Amino acid sequence: MITGRHFAYIISFFIFIVLFFNACNDNIDLNTKKVFRYNEHRNVTSLDPAFARNPQNIWPINQLFNGLVQLDNDLNIKSELATSWKISPDGLTYIFYLRKDVYFHESPVFGKNRTRKVKASDFIYSFNRLSDPKLASPGSWVLHQVKEYKALDEFSLLIKLKKPFPAFLGLLSMRYCAVVPKEVVEYFGTNFRSNPIGTGPFYLKRWDENVKLVLRKNPTYFEFDSQGERLPYLESVAIQFIPDIQSEFMLFLQGKLDFINSLDSSYKDELLTPIGELQPKYEEQLTMLKGPYLNTEYIGFYLESSNPAIQSKKIREAINIGFDRKLMIAYLRNNIGYPANKGFIPKGLQGRSLEPSPFNVVKAKKLVHDYQLENKDKPSITLSTDANYLDLCEYLQQELQKIGIDLKIEVMPSASLRQAKSSGKLELFRASWIADYPDAENYLSLFNSKNFSPNGPNYTHFKNPTYDELYLEALSTVSNSLRYEKYREMDALAMKEFPIIPLYYDQVIRFLQKDVTGMEINPINLLVLKTVSKN
């Protein structure tokens, strides 16, 4: 039954949609086959690559800017603005040779020519700016391994590291390291965030904050497809900012958005069968893409907690083997994701531990029983989470109760959870670790004792001298195969102590309208639109 209040809500919603789409036209026909439309419910806070810290900012920034190198869909390093590079045998010195045909987007700030070529000196400026404490970029850490950098000539750039760091090229692929023009940045100052000038396949046409963001095709973009056609194929990208996920889903089903990313619990059963396939009724309308995502969902123990259950390796192991990850993925996520039963490093990265953590409820019960005999008390732990993962935590609560562990759940706002986790105020917490760059070291750094929070990502305060030695050895190992062996050893070593309990390795999942072609997925879930077209 539709009440008067519900009817008013529905009418208000549709009035909002009509007004919104009228406002979004901006002289662009949003029904054209040359415009790609998506919604960003989390909003965009900056288009400055120095603040490309989260997906909502990174996605549009990736359309506007380029760096020295980029990643392909298999996370291999490819040329971008650098045509080639050399690395010294000791792994300390990198020399990049730049393309000579790359121009910044047009801007009156450049003078009568309205643009100019990108040169090595632009990267010097961009790196200086990124590391400037006055800018306070969240990406300044990317250059912490760098000793010096300088232009050898107009189109050659030298970067020297303090010590070998085999993952360095992966770091340079991050949009933090994109090139920006000095004269435009200095002209706009802090307003460069909303007046970005880059070299990417699209340029900024208009940004009405909290309403819409429109990008247009860069007609002089330097990349071509295999047939010699200049990229991008699209004329425009239109990004909306509707905060309600269910409204976003409705617009997508109506064909007013071209894709949605991820899978919200509110509509997962509408789109997916219980085994994770697209529902038959949508097969003619939609395309589904999915694959490994460099994201491990886990729960972490603060090992300096005074709770004896947290201190007990028996209880931590009991939790690790005391619930069925495969059933959890099937029940809560329609089989989107992979059971995290082989360490912390997710599928898609070299160096994963090969040692499984099988579900064993009999052994888990015995471990809990032994703990109770030793401590004369039933183990009781409080798990802190945000509302987005409450269903997951309630599943754990039910399963751990079966093996004799009393798990209480504390729901907190996401920001409060992050702060409390970093400051060691939570004895057990749910968290995610999404790779910043495509190397397993990114995950293993969470167990290095020098990275204790709040000054680093070791939120559990795990400490093991053997692990720390292996970590340092791996950083100086140039050979990939030897480094991956050390990674596997480190992952297995940490998991024997159970500072964290991996839950599942996530998957990238995208739903597209059938007329969208050329979109591909990658394990870092980067949105690449330069090769996308609409039929």
Is residue 234 within 8 A of residue 243, CB to CB? The reply is: no
CA distance 330 to 327: 5
Which tens digits make up the pLDDT trace of 446-501? 999 999 999 899 999 999 999 999 999 998 888 889 999 999 999 999 999 999 99
Confidence of residue 359 (pLDDT cuts 50, 70, 90): very high
Over residues 183-188, mean pLDDT: 97
Contacts of 172 (CB under 8 A, 6+ apart): 67, 68, 69, 142
What is residue 269's predicted lDDT score, i.e. its pLDDT?
Answer: 92
Which tens digits make up the pLDDT trace of 409-451? 999 999 899 999 999 999 999 999 999 888 999 999 999 999 9
CA distance 192 to 172: 21
Report which of residues 266 and 183 the model is more confident about.
183
Is residue 302 within 8 A of residue 460, CB to CB? The reply is: yes
Query: What would the CATH number be for the domain defined by 16-41+201-285+514-535?
Result: 3.40.190.10
Tokens describing residue 497? 């102590």
What is residue 530's predicted lDDT score, i.e. its pLDDT?
Answer: 98
**Phi, psi angle pair for 127, to nearest 5°:** -70, -40
Over residues 151-173, mean pLDDT: 95
AA identity, residue 452:
F
Over residues 215-231, mean pLDDT: 97
CA distance 114 to 103: 10
CATH topology of domain 292-508: Dipeptide-binding Protein; domain 3 (3.10.105)
Tokens describing residue 269? 């059963």
Query: What would the CATH number be for the domain defined by 66-189?
Result: 3.90.76.10
Confidence of residue 263 (pLDDT cuts 50, 70, 90): confident
Which stretch of 75-79, 229-233, 263-267 has the lowest confidence by average pLDDT? 263-267
Cβ-count burial 486-508 (b if 16+ within 10 Å, e if not) = bbbbbbebbbebbbbbbbbbbbb
Would you list the domain boundaries of the chain? 16-41+201-285+514-535, 66-189, 292-508
Confidence of residue 264 (pLDDT cuts 50, 70, 90): confident
Whether the CA torsion 162, 163, 168, 174 is positive or negative: it is negative
45, 264, 265 from 160: Cα distances, Å: 33, 44, 47
The predicted model scores a pTM of 0.86
What is residue 13's predicted lDDT score, i.e. its pLDDT?
Answer: 46
For residue 14, pLDDT beyond 70: no
Q: At what angle do helices 390-401 and 325-333 cross, to 10 degrees?
A: 140
Beta-bridge partners for 96: 85, 157
What is residue 18's predicted lDDT score, i.e. its pLDDT?
Answer: 41
Q: Reading across the β-sheet that carries 236-240, which strands appear in turn?
A: 35-39, 236-240, 212-217, 202-208
Q: Which helix (H) or strand (E) holds 153?
A: strand 146-153
What is residue 17's predicted lDDT score, i.e. its pLDDT?
Answer: 46
What is residue 356's predicted lDDT score, i.e. its pLDDT?
Answer: 81
Which tens digits make up the pLDDT trace of 89-139? 989 999 999 999 999 999 999 999 999 999 999 999 999 999 999 999 999
Confidence of residue 285 (pLDDT cuts 50, 70, 90): very high
Which tens digits make up the pLDDT trace of 389-401? 999 999 999 999 9
Average model confidence (pLDDT) across the chain: 92
Which stretch of 11-25, 297-311, 368-382 has the lowest confidence by average pLDDT? 11-25
Confidence of residue 355 (pLDDT cuts 50, 70, 90): confident
Is residue 427 within 8 A of residue 305, CB to CB? The reply is: yes
Is residue 213 within 8 A of residue 46, CB to CB? The reply is: no
Which stretch of 127-131, 341-345, 379-383 has the lowest confidence by average pLDDT? 341-345
* Residue closest to 26 by CA, chosen among 278, 272, 211: 211
Token pair 């992979």 in the structure block, residue:
338
Look up residue 230 and give its DSSP letter: B
Contacts of 340 (CB under 8 A, 6+ apart): 296, 297, 298, 325, 346, 502, 503, 504, 505
* Residue closest to 64 by CA, chosen among 187, 229, 179, 188: 179
What is residue 348's predicted lDDT score, i.e. its pLDDT?
Answer: 83
What is residue 15's predicted lDDT score, i.e. its pLDDT?
Answer: 39
